[in-house]
Structure 1
Amino acid sequence: MPAEPSYRRVADDLRRRIRDGDLRPGDPVPSRREISRRYRVGDGSAQRAIRVLRAEGLVTGRQRHRLVVADTPTMRTLTDPDEPWPHTGDEWSDITPAPGSIAARLGIAPGAPVEQHTQELTDAHGRPTHIRVTYQVPGTRSAASSREAVVRARAAEPGEAGVLGVDVGALLLVVEVIHYTTADESADAVDLLLPAAVWTVRLD
């Protein structure tokens, strides 16, 4: 009978420790170096064991941050894409060429410059919940009087997955919003990126 792969042995033991309460929600997960030393496995096996636990939703975290044991997933429901979120993480802005879909929503030519403002939104403990990306024509700050919103599903890209603490290719719900001025012109376009494993959307 073939020997059990070393990464599976490591994942099984860490899974048991999580389920037995030895590692509680919010506790740091052993690093790859610690796993390699404790279980006498190579770095590749340690990394693969962690990927297995992430895929199962047992551990979570962002790129370049220490992984922690995940809470039991709590489903959230988005009903109002404009409702203020109480907790924010990092945020940054860039001037970038407008992709075709964003240009169409803003009523500008594809490739025209847009200001892209990205916010990482978190829970009360600083763990990522979703991402908000706002696109505006540089120098415009028009008040919005109405909106349109649609929901699409797609796979998480590498940068998004790193911020959200999910695997590349994990299913995201994307709420695409256009805000309009009183003159019925586009004020901005907003994308909310929500991991489908813990979010549902029911727009009012």
Structure 2
Amino acid sequence: MPEQPPYLRIADVLRQRIASGEWQPGDRLPSRARFAEEYDVGDNVVRRAQEHLISQGLLEGRAGSGTYVAEPRARLRMVRSLAREKRGGSPFRADMAALGRAGTWEHRTEAKVPAPEDIARRLGIEAGALTVRTAYEFLGNGKPVQLSTSWEPYDLTGGTLIVLPEGGPYAGKGVVERMAAIGITISHAVEQPEPRTATTEEAHLLGVQRGALVTAIERTYYAEDGRPVETADIVVPAAHCEIVYEIPINRP
């Protein structure tokens, strides 16, 4: 049999040390340099070993802080449903409340961002037309649950109370409720989910290994007259969440 790669050997040793109780959930592990010296391997070997255990949910990386023993995490069942859009306030917060978790998020909004070609196509505007872009990191009980980048045409919301999704009297409300505030009724949304691997930035934010499987959802909201009024790229880690679609049935 071929010899086990060094990083898998180190991963097995770390796994055994965690199982023995040497480190408890939430404990910060010693530095990679210390492990490299202890096991006489390179830093890259330790990094790959830790990334392997992160992908298995045993460890979690925190940008700028280090590597920690992961708290046990149940896989969340996230339901995509028309009903979530009929709730008052934030649909995400309501989703998390239904799972017994506190839903919070961090955000960064940029106004008057020229639309890239693919976003312009999805919004039905010219490439380079101004948009409002908001990047979100959604958390359930403080743990990363999903990422989202939202785009709205600036011509649609500029000069109104909802131009900044997280500012003004409608801060934190869902797209449906915000658009209703300026007289736009959203009739439906289209979502296209696809599996892919996480980018380096996504992996850091979601607490998973780079290259781990995620579900990427391309979502676009449409007004009653058929205009697309918002589009978003949503990223959900497959190891931590399962996505279920609830489809209403119109009775005859």
TM-score (normalised: structure 1): 0.82
Per-residue CA distance 1:40-78 (angstroms, 9 max, x = gap): 543233223212222333111243232222234422122
* Equivalent in the alignment of 1:158: 200
* Equivalent in the alignment of 1:130: 146
Contact kept in structure 2, 1:173 and 1:194, CA below 8 Å? yes
Are 2:213 and 1:171 equivalent residues in the alignment? yes
Contact kept in structure 2, 1:29 and 1:59, CA below 8 Å? no
Q: Say which SS state the counterpart of residue 28 (structure 2) adopts.
A: coil
| Distance in 1 between residues matched to 2:5 and 2:78, nearest whole Å | 41
* Equivalent in the alignment of 1:42: 42
Shift in Å at residue 171 of structure 1?
A: 1.8
| Distance in 2 between residues matched to 1:89 and 1:22, nearest whole Å | 33
Q: Which amino acid aligns with 1:188?
A: E
Moved more, 160-169 or 136-145: 136-145
| Distance in 2 between residues matched to 1:62 and 1:90, nearest whole Å | 16
| Distance in 2 between residues matched to 1:168 and 1:2, nearest whole Å | 26
Counterpart mapping for 1:49-68 below 5 A: 49-68=49-68
Q: Which amino acid aligns with 1:178?
A: T
| Distance in 2 between residues matched to 1:153 and 1:179, nearest whole Å | 21
* Equivalent in the alignment of 1:87: 103
Shift in Å at residue 177 of structure 1?
A: 2.0
Q: Which amino acid aligns with 2:75?
A: M
Contact kept in structure 2, 1:147 and 1:177, CA below 8 Å? no
Counterpart mapping for 1:91-106 below 5 A: 91-94=107-110, 95-106=112-123
Shift in Å at residue 131 of structure 1?
A: 0.7
Contact kept in structure 1, 2:28 and 2:67, CA below 8 Å? yes
Are 2:72 and 1:31 equivalent residues in the alignment? no
| Distance in 2 between residues matched to 1:2 and 1:134, nearest whole Å | 48
Q: Which amino acid aligns with 2:134?
A: H
Q: Say which SS state the counterpart of residue 239 (structure 2) adopts.
A: coil
Shift in Å at residue 36 of structure 1?
A: 3.1
* Equivalent in the alignment of 1:146: 187
TM-score (normalised: structure 2): 0.68
* Equivalent in the alignment of 1:108: 125
Distance 1:67 1:129, change over 3 A: farther
Counterpart mapping for 1:183-194 below 5 A: 183-194=225-236
| Distance in 1 between residues matched to 2:52 and 2:27, nearest whole Å | 18
Contact kept in structure 2, 1:88 and 1:119, CA below 8 Å? no
RMSD: 2.7
Contact kept in structure 1, 2:55 and 2:212, CA below 8 Å? no
* Equivalent in the alignment of 1:195: 237
Contact kept in structure 2, 1:171 and 1:197, CA below 8 Å? yes
Shift in Å at residue 108 of structure 1?
A: 0.9
Q: Unmatched 5+ residue regions in structure 1?
A: none
Contact kept in structure 2, 1:62 and 1:164, CA below 8 Å? no
Distance 1:127 1:175, change over 3 A: same
Q: Which one has a bigger Cα radius of gyration?
A: 2
Shift in Å at residue 156 of structure 1?
A: 1.6
Shift in Å at residue 112 of structure 1?
A: 2.6
Contact kept in structure 1, 2:219 and 2:231, CA below 8 Å? yes
